[in-house]
Amino acid sequence: MSSASPPPVSPLAPASQPDLPPVPGVRLATAQAGIRYAGRTDVLYVGLAEGTVPAGVFTRSKCPSAPVDWCREALKGGAARALVVNSGNANAFTGQRGRDSVALTARIAAAAAPCAETDVFIASTGVIGEPLDAAKFEGVLADCAARAEDGAEAWAAAAQAIMTTDTFPKRATRRAEIAGTPVTINGIAKGAGMIAPDMATMLSFVFTDAALPQPVAQALLAAGVNTSFNCVTVDGDTSTSDTLMLFATGQAGNAAVSDAADPRLAGFKAALDDLLIELAQLVAKDGEGARKFVTVAVEGAENDASAHRIAMSIANSPLVKTAVAGEDANWGRVVMAVGKAGEPADRDRLAIWFGDVRVAVAGARDPDYSEAAASAAMREPDILIRVDLGLGQGRARVWTCDLTKAYVEINGDYRS
């Protein structure tokens, strides 16, 4: 069992964490089950009121974890009464034993809730390929269900319990209205490595007291992920366990809304999108070994999809990311990343900025290029890399971090 001391907190961590308010219909508790870690919480139990509607998006990895398979199937039932999350073991690539572990977890949680096993949602994060001993949840989940609560401390503990190599918990909250009725949205997330989502993030859970039919909740979540978690990358590796779920308890009692495009949902959608973006950015700011937070903005592409692929090519480039780590204004590496993306680009129309400093234009170094100004931009903790392709109206922005020696050290010792 791992008992290594936690890594130092990322210098990009927020100076303060918000206190999350109660969400009617949601109660939380955490525990130490000894899944992998010693001396720290590694289980989150969330009890959900009857009538709670789930929505979810999951990894597109062809090697998904057993919990991902379970959640996809459980979503078809359209109801949620409990969520169980463990850290330390991803229960991925564990064959029939993994599926049996998920089934046992659901049985234990269903008895604790109490509810049907199909109303239990499960997520796991941590080491891949090691069997998960779900028997460790016996007694633990029943105790969690008995003492679950909805205060700010419970939300803070929930964000802490799902961490693996994260250096700080990630949580956010928003308020909105639906047809004049106030609603609350709270979200937590974890992720620091194996981050290149192709749907959502590593693990993220959003809770609201809004009353939403499942098709509406699903549509809102699927749309929100495209401008948030699908725009963040740390190392270009898509996890087997990526899970983003939204649980709507309906306790706010707002007017029924049957269409995600209903204008009465505009404020809620904006708040949800903003919350997802904040959580996604926190993931990038906690990238393993990160010292710089990087925004890559691409404009002038033939279309938005092309701009996104070019932006991700830049953000995922080890050469770009190591240049950022070294505070080296090496715009040639950005040119490389644009050119290798496989998208339409014209060398002689390309322009590149680091921060507000244009370093290249019209296929060559900017005639007014200043090494001192460019280097100063690279010394900032938040760095903007902007590219104009000069071809059309397509644009995109993604977030990443630098690639440091600490990333190699963390991942070289991950199973130790």
Domain count, the chain: 2
pLDDT in tens, 166-207: 899 999 999 999 999 999 999 999 976 554 555 444 689 999
Residue 311 and residue 280 in one domain: no
**Mean predicted confidence (pLDDT) in 247-251:** 98
Q: Over 80: is that where the pLDDT of 28 sits?
A: yes
Domain membership of residue 10 (yes or no) is no
Amino acid present at 310: I
The CATH number of whichever domain residue 403 belongs to comes to 3.10.20.340
Q: Which of 188, 203, 175 is nearest to 267 (CA)?
A: 175
Task: List the one residue out of 161, 82, 69 whose CA is nearest residue 119.
Answer: 82
Euclidean distance between CA atoms 227 and 297, whole angstroms: 13
pLDDT of residue 201: 47
Instruction: Clarify whether residues 44 and 192 are in a common domain.
Output: yes
Q: What is the pLDDT of residue 191?
A: 77
pLDDT score of 287 = 79
Report phi then psi at 363, rounded to 5.
Answer: 80, 20
Which DSSP symbol is given to 153?
A: H
User: 175 and 319: one domain?
Assistant: no
> Would you say 251 and 184 are in contact if contact means Cβ atoms under 8 Å apart?
no
Structure confidence at residue 416 as a pLDDT band (50, 70, 90): very low
Residues 259-265, mean pLDDT to the nearest whole number? 97
**Whole-number mean pLDDT of the chain?**
92
Measure the CA angle with vertex 248, ends 245 and 251; round to 5°: 160
What is the strand order of the sheet 43-48 is part of?
26-31, 43-48, 82-89, 120-127
184 is a catalytic site residue: no
7 lies in some domain: no
Backbone angles phi and psi of 244, in degrees to 5: -125, 125
Other residues' Cβ atoms within 10 Å of the Cβ of residue 322? 17
* Residue 12 placed within a domain: no
285, 311, 335 — which closes off a domain? 285
At 42, the pLDDT band (50, 70, 90 cuts) reads very high
Final residue in a domain of this structure, among 229, 251, 285: 285
Q: What six digits make up the tokens of 88?
A: 């330390």
Q: What angle do CA 169, 54, 250 make, to 5 degrees?
A: 95
Do both 253 and 331 map to the same domain? no
**pLDDT value of position 202:** 67
Buried b (16+ CB within 10 A) or exposed e, 151-169: eeebbbbbbbbbbbbbbbb
**What pLDDT, in 10s, does the model give residues 93-139?**
999 999 999 999 999 999 999 999 999 999 999 888 999 999 999 99
Do 367 and 257 fall into the same domain?
no
Q: Is residue 365 part of a domain?
A: yes
CA gap 98, 90 in Å, rounded: 10
The domain that contains 268 carries what CATH number? 3.60.70.12
Tell me, yes or no, whether 200 lies in a domain.
yes
Q: Looking at the DSSP assignment, which residues form a beta bridge with residue 206?
A: 187, 246
Pair 109, 229 in one domain: yes
Helix and strand element counts for the chain (H, E): 11, 15
Cα 33 to Cα 253: distance, rounded to the nearest angstrom: 37
Residue 365 has pLDDT above 80, yes or no: yes
Domain-embedded: residue 9:
no
> DSSP assignment, residue 2?
B
Assess if residue 117 is contained within a domain. Answer: yes
Q: Are residues 168 and 313 in the same domain?
A: no
Q: Are residues 115 and 259 in the same domain?
A: yes
Contact 9, 25 (CB under 8 A): no
**pLDDT value of position 5:** 58
Q: Do 279 and 312 belong to one domain? A: no
**Same domain assignment for residues 122 and 271:** yes
Q: What is the pLDDT, as a whole number, of residue 37?
A: 84
Mutual angle of helices 318-325 and 304-316, in 10-degree steps: 60
Q: Which tokens hold the place of 327?
A: 């505070």
Give the closest residue to 199 by CA, choosing from 224, 229, 239: 229
Does 267 share its domain with 366?
no
| Domain end point (choices 285, 301, 334) | 285
Instruction: List, in sequence order, every beta strand (DSSP E) within 103-255.
Output: 120-127, 170-178, 181-190, 203-208, 243-248
Catalytic residue among 125, 201, 233, 240: 201
Are 358 and 278 part of one and the same domain? no
Hunting for tokens 């308890």 — which residue is that?
249
Q: What is the pLDDT of residue 398?
A: 96
**What residue numbers bound the domain in which 309 lies?**
293-412
With respect to residue 214, please indicate whether it lies within any of the assigned structural domains. yes
